[in-house]
Structure 1
Amino acid sequence: MEIITSGRLKNTIKYLRALFIIGLILSIFFMLGILGVLAYAKSQGAPPLAVPQTSLFYASDGSIIEESHRGQKRYWVPLSEMSPTIIDATISIEDRNFYRHNGFDYKRIAGAAIADIKAMAKVQGASTITQQYARNLFLEHDKTWSRKITEALYTVRLEINYSKKEILEGYLNTIYYGHGAYGIEAASKYYFGKSANELSLAESSMLAGIPKGPSRYSPYENLEKAKSRQKIILNSMVSNGYITKKEAEEVYQTNLAFFKSEDLGRERIAPYFQDAVKKELLTQTNIDEKTIEMGGLRVYTTLDPKLQKVAEEQVAKNVNPDSEIQLGFVAMDQYTGEVKALIGGRNYEESPFNRVTQAERQPGSTFKPFLYYAALENGFTPSTELRSEVTTFLYDDGNSKYTPHNFNNYYANGTITLAQALALSDNVFAVKTHVFIGENSLVNMAKKLGVTSDLVNVPSLALGTSTVRVIDMVNAYGVIGNGGQKITPVFIKKVVDHKGDVIYEAEQSKEQVLDPNLAFVTTHMMTGIFDAKLNDYTRVTGQTITNSLTRQYAGKTGSTKTDSWMIGYSPQLVAGIWTGYDRDERITLTAEKQYAKKIWADFMEEAHTGRNVTAFKPTEGVIGVYVNPDNGKLATNACPISRLTYYVKGTEPTEYCMDHVDHYEEVEEKQPEEDPDKDKGWFKKIFDWF
């Protein structure tokens, strides 16, 4: 037995003390290093949990009309809207200790290191769900030390700042499942045509195996390998206590029905409308283009898919497919301003130029309702008479002349009423009215109604010679139709970000810009274009489509040599259409001149299917009386034609038409007899009754 000398003992104690001190120092440095990392991670704050997400665009019925993803479909859904089976399957195969570690599974790391050493190769991974999520957020997969250190710091930052639930939710929403599908919602829709909350255990166990190698384990790439991977996942779920062995065997034998959504080749819905929506997002919400495309937004639009389909069908039915004529159509709710249907051209792929929101064309006589509303404000009534005859007007201080002409050079060569002038679209009457009330009146009225284009203040403006946009014209008609409340076209109801927060919501002002009584009188005059009672030297402009209409509409046609318009509304919907050639070619074919009216009439009738038949409701400040349409005077029984016409109370005609009676006494006989009981007391009335 060797005896330890005091010297050797002292040396041993010395070495042990040194080792202890060195170990202590290293431990202190190690602890300081850990604290430093934690402090740094905390100081950096919470990293964003989201990566670029697919923005979804919804129609008013909740259906998806567009997915903006640039080839990468990404959706964000909360953990509560995922099937529990996909959560269990993912944790079981990817990170069974997820809820027990702080971001790094050290036992798993050690096991993986030993396995790699034995195999002399990288055969086993040890990344936790948090680490994988950090890698997805960092979006770079190069194998440099710099990237690995950054990934580790991201992992620490995630664990410090977020709960396990938030980390798991983010991971399942960002992991790649192949074929451009990022996140479980995109994968669920792509592979099975359903949302993540509808996944079965069989479907979940299949999807959970794909992220390990999407090119190898996608059932579309290799179903045999995908099934093999599914079996591994089911066994891991058995080992981890999520399911029984019997359940695993039954699930494995289940035949899955796959649904490859891209193969459906879904046609893009309302592309011109979608462009208008994205433009409004940029201009009205201050959301940048990158966020619109890949910000995971939920954009709830005003589009009514049924009305959009009706509009497209009527265009296809009425327009010769061989014709090169173009068109712009839009339908709106005149009370909310919500755009329900929009067609910006014949073929979006050939020409994405939007003829509703971008093109400016001469509106022709569709401008006249604005003029005649202004005339009513200036003392005119539907019975106001002016002569319809060739007239030359001087303007620009007498330096210029203008001679308007009626269609086909037909004139009354006598007086007609304002109500007739609107229904017949008499140009001379319009210019006379324009000059009489002051040419600024029409410009101011058009601006008040929302027309944004520059208007040239000349006599011919009464005939719509300044160019305007279709959307502005239809919106302006909507203001008249809703009783004079200002509206602006609305394409977006609200926008929700990927967190579920509402970041934009449309609001309309309740500003009353027109007199409700005058607006109703104007509306009722506009019903005259469909009423043959107003025929005079020519027919009312809507007579060719009158037989197609089954309810009351107010509207106006308009035409120039290169443009054809029809705009009108019911008590429930306003719609308008322009047809013409992009390069201002003349519309020479008779059939092409009728396109606008036919499409409008067929659309309105189809759009109102199932809706109650309602007439325009008179306001309290108007009164309806029967007049002779030819002179605007009160009709008698002798008048061959009479038409109910509305006036602001106090402006209705008081003179009876004498054109069809021999003497005045006959008119008096047709007036209501005086009530013989008018001045009798109540006692006398009861006595007479007995």
Structure 2
Amino acid sequence: MAERRKDRRKNEKKQKLVLPLLSGEKKRQKPKKESTKRNKNFKSNRPSGGLSRVTKVSIAALTLMVIAVVAGSIFFLRQYGQVITAAVDAGQQQAKAIQESDFKQFRPTTILDVNGGVIKELKTQERDYLSYKDMDPLVSEALISIEDKRFYEHHGVDTQGLLTVALNAALGRGVRGASTITQQLVKNIYLTPEVSISRKVEEMVMAQSLEQKFSKEQILEYYLNNVYFGHGAYGINAASRVYFNKSINDTSLLEKAVLVGITNNPGLHDPVSNKDNAIKRGKTILGEMLSQGYITNDDYNKAIKDDFTASIHSDALNNDLGDNEVALAVDSATKILMEQQDFRFQYQFDSKEEEDRYNQEYLDAYNKVYQRILSGGYEIQTKIDPTIHQQLQDILTGVMQSWPDMDPEKNIYVKQAAMTVIDNSTGSVVASIGGRGEEGNTYNRAFLSYRQPGSAIKPLVSFAPAYERGLLETSTVSDDRPNNNYPNNIYMGSRGNLTLRNALAMSSNVVAYKLAMDNQTELQEPVYQPLAQMQFTGLDVADDNPIIAVGGMTYGATTQEMASGISTLVNQGNYRMPTNIQSIKRKDNDQEVFNLNDAPQRKVYSEDAAYLTIDTMKAVHQEENGTATDTNLAHNQYWAIKTGTTDEAKDLWTVGATPHYTVAVWAGDDTPQPQDNASVGKATRQIFQEAMDLLNNGKEDVDFQMPASVTNQNGQLVTRSSQAKQVLATRQNALQATTQNIDALAKTKANELIAEKLNSPMVSEASSFSTQLLADRIQTLSQFELIVTDTQDNWKTFDQYAQQVWALIQNVEPAGGTLSSQYTSVYRSKEAQYAQEKAALTSDVDRVEGDITTTEEQGKELDKQIEDLKKELNIRDTTRPSSSSTPSGSSSSSSESQERD
């Protein structure tokens, strides 16, 4: 019965498409005939042989429209011509690699440990995939009726949709327009959610290629088995199991329509949380199916009176990763493949709107690739060592057993902890311990939980950038609070002027805050710039504030990010993406798409700044007033550490490193609550200590590698940055002093001649001076050269001579006169000149300091250019054309949107 109905509908559809073509008729022919008839019956009052006024206006309007379209087309081509050409080339290149295995991943994704053993197999698509012939035809008919009415007529791109896109772009409405089912499939599998002219053109080119390679039925099959339906369900059969706990073929007509309706916006049309919207959308689809002849009136009337009960059956997907290390591996693989798919990761934003837009794009892209991995088709070789992981888990679990209280609802411990360990030689994650290890506690806090880092962040945002500016460990900063806007110290007071080494050892909040402010001003970059370069994903627009130097972030950081940051310091300022993946390979063509050995590094800090920061962190356990003096390692004498405590001790941290490993530990409640710093804080240091002792046992006890840009001069570490700053200042001062000396000598010589004139013999009686003689004295006084330098100031000499001349003038002109006016003009002019040169001296000092800053910035820019060039050369050497496609992904979030272009 079902087969007959299926064949009947297919034949009807073919007849609808074929008969008009055979008869030579076109669509909507009837309305045209009716229009012609109406024109015949229309009684015109215009004179025979002429055009009516209405006709003239219509022709004029049509002419203007044509001109506007032509002008718009010229503008469009000029505006986007090169972009479109590049997008066409990119689309054609990607289209060459399209293959059936991109849509049907029946080989399970396998995750291997460091020894090649299988840890986990992921194969959700293999279980839920339904071929076109095995799926109820009503499903694809419902999809076509609402998403792509001309699906069987176009070749991947609907001309009307293309005109809509062009019109929207010309009117400044963006590049949104009706996408065909084929285009949507291309976007879901191969492209990022970016909305742009180039991406739309690339999508169209690939859609046409897809139509050439596969039949319409195959395209419908691939779409319905890969599109996202919310709550982690990709594919309509998986969605049917999640919402209705049954196969799609066993659902009612209304349920089918409701499921198809979800794809437009999974959050808005969620049949569980937004049932009214889901029903409304479903009935709209049923109406379209009726009007297009896919269902009868009886079918429609019965379906719209129907109802359904939906709930989330999360176990239906069977894709629970469970293990912390496996969860990290899939997360890392997702981000790696997103990057290969040209997704542009962003970590700092100019506005909240930009941040929100990016977050939605990120979620869409992440979910697509994530589900792609779960569906199957990849071999992921990891660095996971189950033995080491279990030993480290046992350490954390054992230390935290002093807090046995359980959450009655979640059945996990109230007080939790997390730890990330990184191998400094490779940058890879050795262990990702996401909790206390109790049964059911599978949430990996190590890379998923953002917590305020407290003082643990100080080395990354305060001290390393300060050393970039040329400061040294012996540089001093006042611990005094100028006003209440500054954070208070945990010891509630000031310790006076502190060296940077002292300040970090005792964890001065005031000094860290002041350093962050100065870094922001002198380096002219956001306070969180280093964190953004190291891909801290919890950054917010509001975090461009020195308060983050004491851990006051909007969202916070993870132990993985903190460990990666400290490891960057150990790695001489070079950041490496933290991952426990060694390689990723596609199973369908056995092609390796990622290898850790080829992963690029990014220069975040200079070598000397990174080394000085690590050396300063040693003081935290070495100095008497350090915050970690109670911590000692059994196998290392060279190691760095930093503790962190937030307000009310809601989050407790210990981060640190030996030359071999970096460890970051956090402890607290999942819902932040005040902690006992003395006990919980000490627990984080104990976990750090025991983990380091385990990891470093048998390793060579060596110091951190000192770069050539750092030297030890009389017991003080001096860096290239500090020397460059000092040399520049010395040269500037020497040049300025030499110039001033030459100028001063010339002026002195001139003044000697003037003095001879002013001291020449005079008649003692004022009456004997002629007006001409006094005028000569005033002229001589105007030629006096003022000298204003760091070491000389001859204003008093000039003023002495001036007063002598003024006394003589008063004898001749007691009531004032021409001489008095001339004198006053000269004196005021010299007075203004002196004030100007005095101000210029101060300005020169400021300028020298500015030149120093500019030179440092130019040096940084040169370093960046060199690093970019290295990366470009490396990419040219290592990159090979790839035929791999980008997978689609999943998420458990029900609020994510998949609105059509």
Compute the TM-score of the two structures, normalised by the length of structure 1. 0.51
Structure 1 unmatched ranges of 5 or more: 1-44, 74-136, 141-267, 394-400, 628-643, 655-690
Which whole-Å CA distance do the structure 1 matches of 2:369 and 2:526 have between them?
A: 40
Equivalent position of 1:501 in the other structure: 590
Which whole-Å CA distance do the structure 2 matches of 1:517 and 1:47 have between them?
A: 50
- String of CA shifts for 1:562-583, please: whole Å, max 9, x gaps: 1111111121221211111111
* Equivalent residue for 1:285, pick from 332, 337, 341: 337
Equivalent position of 1:450 in the other structure: 535
Which whole-Å CA distance do the structure 2 matches of 1:480 and 1:300 have between them?
A: 27
Instruction: Identify which range, 428-437 or 374-383, moves more after superposition.
Output: 428-437
Q: Does residue 408 in structure 1 map to residue 491 in structure 2?
A: yes
- String of CA shifts for 1:513-537, please: whole Å, max 9, x gaps: 32112211111111221213xx3xx
Q: 1:464 Cα shift?
A: 1.3
Equivalent position of 1:338 in the other structure: 428
Equivalent position of 2:874 in the other structure: none
- String of CA shifts for 1:633-657, please: whole Å, max 9, x gaps: xxxxxxxxxxx64544864999xxx
Equivalent position of 1:61 in the other structure: 115
Equivalent position of 1:166 in the other structure: none
Q: Does residue 573 in structure 1 map to residue 661 in structure 2?
A: yes
Q: 1:588 Cα shift?
A: 2.0
For the structure 1 residues 310 and 410, does the alpha-carbon distance in structure 2 shift closer, same or farther, using more than 3 Å as the test?
A: farther
For the structure 1 residues 420 and 647, does the alpha-carbon distance in structure 2 shift closer, same or farther, using more than 3 Å as the test?
A: farther
Is the CA contact 1:556–1:567 (under 8 Å) kept in the aligned structure 2? yes
Q: Does residue 524 in structure 1 map to residue 615 in structure 2?
A: yes
Which whole-Å CA distance do the structure 1 matches of 2:514 and 2:638 have between them?
A: 30
Which whole-Å CA distance do the structure 2 matches of 1:650 and 1:564 have between them?
A: 34
Which whole-Å CA distance do the structure 1 matches of 2:417 and 2:698 have between them?
A: 28
Instruction: Identify which range, 305-314 or 579-588, moves more after superposition.
Output: 305-314
Which whole-Å CA distance do the structure 1 matches of 2:443 and 2:656 have between them?
A: 24
More helix by share: 2
For the structure 1 residues 541 and 47, does the alpha-carbon distance in structure 2 shift closer, same or farther, using more than 3 Å as the test?
A: closer
Is the CA contact 2:453–2:651 (under 8 Å) kept in the aligned structure 1? yes
Q: 1:503 Cα shift?
A: 4.1
Which whole-Å CA distance do the structure 2 matches of 1:498 and 1:272 have between them?
A: 24
- String of CA shifts for 1:355-399, please: whole Å, max 9, x gaps: 22222111111111121111112231111112223x144xxxxxx
Which whole-Å CA distance do the structure 1 matches of 2:101 and 2:399 have between them?
A: 57
Q: Which has the higher contact order (CA 8 A, sep 6+)?
A: 2
Q: Does residue 605 in structure 1 map to residue 693 in structure 2?
A: yes
Q: 1:298 Cα shift?
A: 2.1
1:118-267 superposed matches below 5 A: none
Is the CA contact 1:58–1:64 (under 8 Å) kept in the aligned structure 2? yes
Which whole-Å CA distance do the structure 2 matches of 1:289 and 1:488 have between them?
A: 18
Equivalent position of 1:477 in the other structure: 566
Q: Does residue 274 in structure 1 map to residue 326 in structure 2?
A: yes
Equivalent position of 2:705 in the other structure: 617
Which whole-Å CA distance do the structure 2 matches of 1:488 and 1:358 have between them?
A: 16
User: 1:402 corresponds to which letter in structure 2?
Assistant: N
SS in 1 for 2:328: helix
Equivalent position of 1:435 in the other structure: 517
Equivalent position of 1:179 in the other structure: none
For the structure 1 residues 573 and 550, does the alpha-carbon distance in structure 2 shift closer, same or farther, using more than 3 Å as the test?
A: closer
Equivalent position of 2:643 in the other structure: 557
Q: 1:485 Cα shift?
A: 1.4
SS in 2 for 1:402: coil
Q: 1:415 Cα shift?
A: 1.8
Which whole-Å CA distance do the structure 2 matches of 1:408 and 1:509 have between them?
A: 43
For the structure 1 residues 68 and 410, does the alpha-carbon distance in structure 2 shift closer, same or farther, using more than 3 Å as the test?
A: same
Instruction: Identify which range, 615-624 or 458-467, moves more after superposition.
Output: 458-467
Q: 1:544 Cα shift?
A: 1.1
Equivalent position of 1:361 in the other structure: 451
SS in 2 for 1:362: coil
Is the CA contact 2:382–2:580 (under 8 Å) kept in the aligned structure 1? yes
Is the CA contact 1:524–1:646 (under 8 Å) kept in the aligned structure 2? no
1:8-47 superposed matches below 5 A: none
Q: 1:552 Cα shift?
A: 1.4
Q: 1:60 Cα shift?
A: 1.8
For the structure 1 residues 497 and 624, does the alpha-carbon distance in structure 2 shift closer, same or farther, using more than 3 Å as the test?
A: same
Which whole-Å CA distance do the structure 1 matches of 2:397 and 2:489 have between them?
A: 32
Which whole-Å CA distance do the structure 2 matches of 1:436 and 1:46 have between them?
A: 57
Is the CA contact 1:485–1:511 (under 8 Å) kept in the aligned structure 2? yes
Q: 1:603 Cα shift?
A: 0.3
Equivalent position of 1:464 in the other structure: 551
- String of CA shifts for 1:387-426, please: whole Å, max 9, x gaps: 223x144xxxxxxx424222232542x2220011111111
Which whole-Å CA distance do the structure 2 matches of 1:289 and 1:515 have between them?
A: 35
SS in 2 for 1:575: strand
Which whole-Å CA distance do the structure 2 matches of 1:403 and 1:650 have between them?
A: 27
Is the CA contact 2:112–2:119 (under 8 Å) kept in the aligned structure 1? yes
Q: 1:427 Cα shift?
A: 1.3
User: 1:404 corresponds to which letter in structure 2?
Assistant: P
Which whole-Å CA distance do the structure 1 matches of 2:705 and 2:427 have between them?
A: 20
For the structure 1 residues 493 and 410, does the alpha-carbon distance in structure 2 shift closer, same or farther, using more than 3 Å as the test?
A: same
For the structure 1 residues 70 and 446, does the alpha-carbon distance in structure 2 shift closer, same or farther, using more than 3 Å as the test?
A: closer
Q: 1:585 Cα shift?
A: 0.4
Which whole-Å CA distance do the structure 2 matches of 1:347 and 1:388 have between them?
A: 42
Is the CA contact 1:383–1:653 (under 8 Å) kept in the aligned structure 2? no
Is the CA contact 2:468–2:721 (under 8 Å) kept in the aligned structure 1? no
- String of CA shifts for 1:546-598, please: whole Å, max 9, x gaps: 26563311221111121111111121221211111111101126221212111
Which whole-Å CA distance do the structure 2 matches of 1:436 and 1:58 have between them?
A: 48
1:575-590 superposed matches below 5 A: 575-588=663-676, 590=678
Which whole-Å CA distance do the structure 1 matches of 2:371 and 2:467 have between them?
A: 50
Which whole-Å CA distance do the structure 2 matches of 1:47 and 1:418 have between them?
A: 58
Q: 1:607 Cα shift?
A: 0.7
* Equivalent residue for 1:544, pick from 630, 642, 646: 630
SS in 2 for 1:292: helix
SS in 2 for 1:314: helix
For the structure 1 residues 46 and 556, does the alpha-carbon distance in structure 2 shift closer, same or farther, using more than 3 Å as the test?
A: closer
SS in 2 for 1:438: helix
- Alignment root-mean-square deviation, CA: 3.7
SS in 2 for 1:524: helix
Count of equivalent residues: 393
Is the CA contact 2:643–2:653 (under 8 Å) kept in the aligned structure 1? yes
Q: 1:500 Cα shift?
A: 6.4
Equivalent position of 2:504 in the other structure: 422
* Equivalent residue for 2:389, pick from 308, 312, 321: 308
User: 1:385 corresponds to which letter in structure 2?
Assistant: T
- String of CA shifts for 1:37-86, please: whole Å, max 9, x gaps: xxxxxxxx9999x983443211122232223356999xxxxxxxxxxxxx
SS in 1 for 2:665: strand
For the structure 1 residues 646 and 495, does the alpha-carbon distance in structure 2 shift closer, same or farther, using more than 3 Å as the test?
A: same
For the structure 1 residues 556 and 69, does the alpha-carbon distance in structure 2 shift closer, same or farther, using more than 3 Å as the test?
A: same
Q: 1:270 Cα shift?
A: 7.7
Give % identity: 20
1:108-123 superposed matches below 5 A: none
Which whole-Å CA distance do the structure 2 matches of 1:605 and 1:47 have between them?
A: 48
Equivalent position of 2:774 in the other structure: none
- String of CA shifts for 1:471-507, please: whole Å, max 9, x gaps: 2222111111100112112232222333561342134
